[in-house]
Amino acid sequence: MTPRHTILLTGGLGYIGSHTAVALVEAGYRAVILDDLSNSERSVFDAICQICGDEHLEFIEGDVTDAACLKTVFEAHDFFGVIHFAAKKSVAESEADPLSYLHTNLSGLVELLRAMDTAGVYNLVFSSSATVYGDQEVFPIPETATRHAVNTYGYTKVASEEMLERVGTADDRWSFGVLRYFNPIGAHGSGLIGENPKGIPANLLPYIDRVATGELPELVVYGDDYDTPDGTGVRDYIHVMDLAEGHVQSLDAIDATGQGHVVNIGTGQGYSVLEVIKAYEAVSDIEIPFRIAPRRAGDVAVYCADASLARDVLGFQAKRDLFEMCRTNWAWTQKMAEAKTA
Ligand SMILES: NC(=O)c1ccc[n+]([C@@H]2O[C@H](COP(=O)([O-])OP(=O)(O)OC[C@H]3O[C@@H](n4cnc5c(N)ncnc54)[C@H](O)[C@@H]3O)[C@@H](O)[C@H]2O)c1
């Protein structure tokens, strides 16, 4: 089958990019992945090909901040658009080494926009984040909420959104699909791709994975005295395949209307830390030991998306529930553990 369009995925071997590559190929697109492997492995490309065939997939090792590399990539392909995942994403690291975050996340975006402009490619879907809302107290959060960076990583996302607005205002050929992700978890149902953070995970599900496999002794739950049904923090978790399919819908909407959009991508429904632990125990049949510690500074009780605009503008609605998120995470974790001992 001839692909509908060819899409460049910067950072496409990472957690969200790899799942989106699968969703794109399954929706009839051709995906060209550009990744410098700074936070991923070449083997992820083989796994993507194993899931959806290699006919409509290509991998190029390269750095999005490298103008010469981008020039070569754009000259060799006829892209309909780009999905820009390539970025550094650790809040703690962004505080310790802000310059490298400004370089990769902001200079990388500028170089990409320049290369797109030169090549006459004006459709971009951008990986933004709920972090642009900072420490909001009102939930669910609508897209109209004030942007407010509370760390350097968050600053790069706020600044990127502002840059896109300025570029779009100056030249109406651009269409930007800005997707503000909430908390992606889970893995592809095949168990072949998933999240594989280096070092001690900063996020809840990868941490639980390591407790389930015995690599970490217990989970620490920060605060059980929040104003939530069971006292623990509530977050808007979204299955990574739902999020991946949201990118396809974003491109489809740009293709159909020529218009951009700025939308939250979440389920609109929150789950507490204890609910996540229970669901994980149910699907894995493993008890997850945990202890309660005092609240962490800066954490809020509830952080959930108002998901109605993505539904209205893109027709986006998350389909997979918390059990499916935990089931697929556990299946992926088991495959990784098997591979380590093989
Ligand atoms: N995972 C989340 O919870 C989350 C939430 C909100 C937003 N985001 C954003 O989504 C995007 C993807 O996140 P992810 O979780 O898949 O991260 P990831 O680290 O798994 O994937 C990012 C990929 O980009 C690559 N990369 C980094 N710098 C590069 C460069 N200079 N040139 C080329 N490739 C480069 C890495 O090797 C990696 O494969 C990021 O922009 C991130 O900020 C992620």
DSSP string across 294-318: PPPTT--SEE-B--HHHHHHH----
Coil, helix or strand at residue 257: helix
Tokens standing for 68?
Answer: 């010469």
Cα-to-centroid distance, 228 and ligand 1 (Å)? 31
Segment 161-200, tens digit of pLDDT: 999 999 999 999 999 999 999 999 999 999 999 998 888 8
Is ligand 1 within 6 A of the CB of residue 36? yes
Instruction: State pLDDT tens for residues 137-162.
Output: 788 999 999 999 999 999 999 999 99
Spatial CB neighbours of 172, under 8 Å, sequence gap ≥ 6 = none
Q: How far is the CA of 265 from the centre of ligand 1 (A)?
A: 16
What pLDDT score was predicted for residue 247?
98
Question: What separation in angstroms does the CA of 47 have from each of 19, 30, 171?
Answer: 10, 16, 39
Tokens representing residue 79 in the block: 């892209």
Band the pLDDT of 337: cuts 50, 70, 90.
confident
Span from the CA of 333 to the centroid of ligand 1 (angstroms): 20
- Residue from 13, 15, 37, 60 to probe ligand 1 pocket by mutation (most atoms less than 8 Å from CB): 15
State how far Cα 103 lies from the chain centre. 20
Q: For residue 168, what pLDDT is reported?
A: 98
Q: Which residue owns the Cα nearest ligand 1 atom 36?
A: 39
Q: What are phi and psi of 59, to 5 degrees?
A: -120, 135
**pLDDT above 70: percentage of residues in the chain:** 100
pLDDT tens for each residue of 245-279: 999 999 999 999 999 999 999 999 999 999 999 99
- Ligand 1 atom at minimal distance to the Cα of residue 86: 24
Separation of alpha carbons 274 and 46, rounded Å: 36
- Digit-coded pLDDT (tens) for 35-50: 999 999 999 999 999 9
pLDDT value of residue 193: 97
pLDDT band at 224 (very low <50, low <70, confident <90, very high): very high
| pLDDT confidence bin for 340, thresholds 50/70/90 | confident
Assigned fold of 6-186+237-266+306-319 = Rossmann fold (3.40.50)
Q: Any idea what DSSP says for residue 21? A: H
33, 21, 84, 25: which is closest to 60 by C-alpha? 33
Residue nearest to atom 42 of ligand 1 (CA): 89
pLDDT at 250: 98
What is the distance in A from the centroid of ligand 1 to the CA of 139? 26
Question: How far is residue 244's CA from residue 249's CA, in Å, rounded to a whole number?
Answer: 9
Cβ 132 under 6 angstroms from ligand 1: no
* Confidence bin at 136 (pLDDT 50/70/90): confident
DSSP letters along 85-136, please? ------HHHHHH-HHHHIIIIIIHHHHHHHHHHHHT--EEEEEEEGGGG-S-
- In the chain, domain spans: 6-186+237-266+306-319
Query: Stretch 103-110: mean pLDDT, rounded?
Result: 98
What's the mean pLDDT in 220-225?
Answer: 96
Query: So what's the pLDDT on residue 199?
Result: 83
pLDDT of 63 above 90: yes
Q: Whose C-alpha lies nearest to ligand 1, atom 18?
A: 14
Task: Pick the catalytic residue from 153, 207, 226, 303.
Answer: 153
Residues of the chain with pLDDT > 90, as a percent, come to 91
Annotated active-site residue 153? The verdict is: yes
- Residues 250, 23: Cα–Cα separation, whole Å: 12
- Rounded to whole angstroms, the Cα distance separating 94 from 88 reads 8
Taking the C-alpha atoms of residue 163 and residue 158, their distance in angstroms, rounded to an integer, is 9
User: Closest by alpha carbon to 205, among 181, 176, 240?
Assistant: 240
Q: What is the pLDDT of residue 46?
A: 98
Please, what sign has the CA dihedral across residues 99, 202, 187, 323? Answer: negative
**Does the C-beta of 63 come closer than 6 Å to ligand 1?**
yes
Q: Which residues pair with 180 in a beta bridge?
A: 128, 264
Round to whole Å and give the CA distance between 225 and 44: 41
Task: Evaluate: CB of 194 within 6 angstroms of ligand 1.
Answer: no
The confidence score (pLDDT) of residue 299 equals 84
309 has pLDDT over 90: yes
